[in-house]
Structure 1
């Protein structure tokens, strides 16, 4: 759909998120509505170009003569942005920010693949059938223009992730990078490699899983797979159907906003390789020795710094936790507690860190913790913000048993080590924690001893 400048000036701020006119025609993703979804739409694929020269005014690329668009420069790398299922017909609300953020980071041809006519249909299975033809359209464009395959980065959400995979497979995996943002699960679970995204579809494939128990895909699909908060329920998302449409899409869409956070470098999140989320929360996967001096990879846009080692390691599943809104990155600490009760104790620990101006709290309650005499319990504490250097630490021990006597936990050593490299661990010795009571202290330097 084409908008002339007179119409655009009137509607740009209201209905056209891409359309800020500069005396030329601007293009937007096709805007449809529920009426179209009920009736069903026939597939039409449009490629809309944004560059640093026209970051707010999309230009339609002709499949027959893309070079007729003056801002298309073959020497630039190309980033393709591919949306997924659009049951309401509306354009993705995140696309504007994604385009601008990518262009702010890199001088590329940012090409939005608009297949809303074909994605807007209440029959999901019909939309799934359209993914192959969309990939064929993108494949044809790449072939006709002679783009440098290794400089291509495809970012696809949901069905767009598998479209990226199909496109990459058409070039025998020679395109540079695929970023799959919560790749679609329905109709793809249990399928063979040639029927879905897989690591052979590009030189480097990363997949982010945020809704694997519903709309997303559970199993690993890339050279590195990220499972924030375990890969399913995301913090801040509704837990009941009474929240309306947000209940269905919040976890799924979180993948986009987490990735946007990484592009904008709002916060840096470390992705810890681990066998599963439970072991990660238990603090069993905080060592990054396999990555040598480079340390564990960061999540998202800048992970390619670890590309070579990840390719050597094969498929790597990683875990981290996030806040419920941007900045999503948390501040992590390894917690080691040596208790010296004569009898074992069970319970939860809450840790509060405070500096001169701020405080932050972490409740370690994913499971009941076991404290044994002269045994070290290793835990992971994730705080919403970084308050280093820490002035005071407050501990609270809770059993969660309302009808039992109040217990005490005797701590021989408490050690708190920042996961951020280069920061010193903090200790305290000989503490008595009474159930449900705060114990506040100033941390001291750690002694070198077995306990």
Structure 2
């Protein structure tokens, strides 16, 4: 009788532990001051247990299915001890779009401290703890090819340290605005590096403050040039949000890429200024798109075929979509003009969009074609009218008009759409001119 009672109690304890839901560590603000010793907890979510995480470790990975893709999502510095505000959205979105093993690497104990350098010192220790977990997966039939490490800020460098322990054979590492402070200038053994995985892609959103400025991957995305993300506060009067918004935008852009209604096309370029001046926007369908579905664009030969440094723009709010056009202008004014042209587009449903002020002052010389990048946050499939406004870059300009012999508007986002043309347009300084375009007779490239 005692034997059966013992078995019953053991079974009850095991069942209770197996059914227990584990949550990300939440720490009090006092831990910020006194600091925390490193503790790494691995929270496993799958399609079956998307609302209830299982706790796994280096000798217990059930119910993880090693035959499926496994994502390790690694957070960064947590000075105040709270869970990341993007955590729930990451879990829900990833498991909605993919049947995967999702492991949230919770190292909040170790990342929570007022002493940033202490958190940095823990990054390599986190990697040491993750190594035997992956080894155990491999010993049970797993594959490095099916592992994707996604790291945020300090987490990006942790992903790199893990990858280096497996000689760069892990399938994919994504760095979301990797931390810059105390990593800038470090050698490849002390930061994320392209040799850490078969594919390393990196998104930069805060290179002038908390993020890393230089290349770290096979392909480095610079959203909006890597600084000052649209929709983020412009002044310190907004408090904490001003400090972290640009940095955290990397996570929201990446989450959004999983389900976005638009493909964010990227453009290789030497600088953001050249991109804005339409010097790098030759459409090429072989260029990959930004985000989670990048691996679908991966060639069968080498990831080094990817352009290394690429740019794209986003709108201030989700889904962050932007749509691009090129406006080709052939001036006919007798004397050269130097200034700016503001572009507006109207669709057949009455929606009007204004292009972002992308370009620097242009010189408009007679019969010399000028190309402007037009970027708007709404897709107008059928454009019914175009508006232009010329503003001079010279305070006192003898002539106030600027004439256009021919203009042509062509879509970069949808290159198969017809080009729109208009001839003989006269522009008065600081006055908006609106007109109806028509389909160009010759669809030139």
User: Structure 2 length as normaliser, TM-score?
Assistant: 0.91
Shift of 1:445: 2.1
SS of the counterpart of 1:114?
strand
Q: Given the alignment of the two structures, is residue 83 of structure 1 paired with residue 78 of structure 2, yes or no? A: no
Instruction: Tell whether the 8 Å contact from 2:257 to 2:293 is kept in structure 1 after alignment.
Output: yes
Hey, what does 2:95 align to over in structure 1? Answer: 103
1:126-155: per-residue Cα shift (whole Å, max 9, x none)?
000000010111111000221310000111
* 1:187-213 Cα shifts (integer Å, max 9, x gaps): 111111111101110010100000011
Counterparts in 2 of 1:226 and 1:156: CA distance versus 1, 3 Å: same
Distance in 1 between the 2:217 and 2:41 partners?
27
By how many angstroms is 1:332 displaced? 0.4
Contact 2:277 2:360 in 1 (8 A): no
Aligned to 1:151: 146
Contact 2:57 2:133 in 1 (8 A): no
- Aligned residues of 1:406 and 1:434 also touching (Cα < 8 A): no
- TM-score when scaled to structure 1? 0.90
Q: Secondary structure of the residue that 1:394 maps to in structure 2? A: strand
Q: 3-state SS of the aligned residue for 1:130?
A: helix
Distance 2:356 2:403 in 1: 19
Once the two structures are superposed, the pairs formed by residues 203-222 of structure 1 within 5 Å of their partners are 203-222=198-217
Contact 1:349 1:363 in 2 (8 A): no
Q: Which residue matches 2:424?
A: 430
CA contact (8 A) 2:361 2:393 kept: no
- Provide Cα deviations, 1:31-61, integer angstroms capped at 9, x if missing partner: 0132111110000000000000011111111
Aligned residues: 422
Counterpart for residue 16 of structure 1: none
Q: Which moved further from structure 2: 56-65 or 175-184?
A: 56-65
| Alpha-carbon spacing, 1:362–1:35, altered in 2? closer, same or farther (3 Å) | same
Equivalent residue, structure 2, for 1:169: 164
Q: Could you say which residue in structure 2 is the equivalent of 1:3? A: none
**Following superposition of structure 1 onto structure 2, how do residues 268-417 of structure 1 map, counting pairs within 5 Å?**
268-289=263-284, 294-308=285-299, 311-313=303-305, 316-357=308-349, 358-399=351-392, 404=397, 407-417=400-410
Which of 425, 433, 440 is 2:434 aligned to? Answer: 440
Change (3 A) 1:385 1:310: farther
Structural RMSD (CA): 1.8
Give the SS at the match of 2:390.
Answer: strand
Partner of 1:47: 42
What is the SS of the residue equivalent to 2:357? strand
CA change 1:366–1:445 in 2 (3 A) is closer
Report the Cα distance in structure 2 between the residues aligned to 1:169 and 1:122, rounded to whole angstroms: 29
In the TM superposition, residue 295 of structure 1 has moved relative to its aligned partner by 3.2
Distance apart, 1:296 and its partner CA: 2.3
Unaligned runs of 5+ in 1: 1-20
Shift, 1:265, TM fit:
2.3
| 3-state SS of 2:366 partner | coil
1:418 matched to 2:429? The reply is: no
Which 10-residue stretch deviates more, 388-397 or 155-164?
Answer: 388-397
Are the counterparts in 2 of residues 222 and 315 from structure 1 also a CA contact under 8 Å? no
Give distance in 1, aligned partners of 2:123 and 2:397: 59
Partner Cα separation in structure 2 for residue 449 and residue 95 of structure 1:
47
Is 1:193 aligned to residue 199 of structure 2? no
Q: Distance in 1 between matches of 2:337 and 2:102?
A: 57
User: How far apart are the structure 2 equivalents of 1:315 and 1:215?
Assistant: 25
Does the CA-based 8 Å contact 1:206-1:224 persist in structure 2?
A: yes
2:136 match: secondary structure: helix
1:129 alignment partner, one of 116, 121, 126? 121
Find the aligned partners of 1:75 and 1:295 in 2 and give their Cα distance: 30
In the TM superposition, residue 433 of structure 1 has moved relative to its aligned partner by 0.7
Q: Determine the structure 2 residue equivalent to 1:93.
A: 85
Q: Does residue 36 of structure 2 align to residue 58 of structure 1?
A: no
**Structure 2 CA distance for partners of 1:29 and 1:312, relative to 1, 3 Å:** same
Question: In structure 2, what is the Cα distance between the partners aligned to 1:269 and 1:335?
Answer: 20
1:408-438: CA deviation from partner (whole Å, max 9, x where unpaired): 1100111110012211111101100111212
1:164 deviation in Å? 0.3
How far apart, CA to CA, are the structure 2 residues paired with 1:253 and 1:157? 8
